[in-house]
Amino acid sequence: MRWDMLDEEACSVARTVSVIGDRWSLLILRDCFLKVRRFEQFQERLGVTRHVLADRLKKLVKTGVLVRSAYQDRPARYDYRLTDKGMALYPVLMALVHWGDTHGADGRARPVHYRHRGCGALLDPVTVCSECREPLDARDVAVEPGPGLPEGHGLLDLVLGARG
């Protein structure tokens, strides 16, 4: 698997990693969900070089995760906002938050709490079944080949092996 061809793989994880699979892209997305919009704000918060930041923003715009819009003409300045495709990454980020709070904190308190606007309660982001709403972990899920998995693909052997 070549890094620059991950988006062509018959693997949903590889396709996702091709878009957000580096630390700067994930941290940019985190900041987008915290309402950071402008290049200078990203750079100040992340401490990333201008070149790397420009490259990651360009890729996130090209893949349709962010949209860039001008807010000033002279000099030209832009803000970056999540598209619907970008907003759909929220569960991914929340899963990372939950893992970090649960397994990466080394006894430290959570740096941020999340409150559900609907009911007002503090929440733990968890994955649930889309049908019955029961919480899920890997032991609760059976993996089956889908129509997009080509015959002879190495992942097919893994999927079929996971069924037994």
Q: What's the pLDDT score for residue 41?
A: 96
- Say if 50 falls within a structural domain: yes
Q: CA–CA separation, 7 vs 111, rounded Å?
A: 33
- For residue 71, give the H/E element and its range: strand 66-72
With b meaning 16 or more CB within 10 Å and e meaning fewer, what string describes 107-129?
eeeeeeeeeeeeeeeeeeeeeee
CB atoms within 10 A of CB 15: 14
Q: What is the pLDDT of residue 58?
A: 97
Predicted confidence band of residue 5 (pLDDT cuts 50, 70, 90)? low
pLDDT at residue 131, rounded to an integer: 95
The answer as to whether 8 is a domain residue is yes
Into how many domains does the chain fold? 1
Max CA pair span of the chain: 63
Q: Tell me the residue length of the chain.
A: 164
CATH number of the domain within which 19 lies: 1.10.10.10
DSSP assignment letter at 3: G
Q: How many CB atoms lie within 10 A of CB 54?
A: 14
Question: Are 26 and 90 a contacting pair, CB within 8 Å?
Answer: no
**Range of 44's domain?**
1-85
Phi and psi (nearest 5°) for 82?
Answer: -70, 135
Give 52-84 pLDDT, tens digit per residue: 999 999 999 999 999 999 999 999 999 999 999
Let me know if residue 164 belongs to a domain.
no
Q: What pTM was computed for the model?
A: 0.82
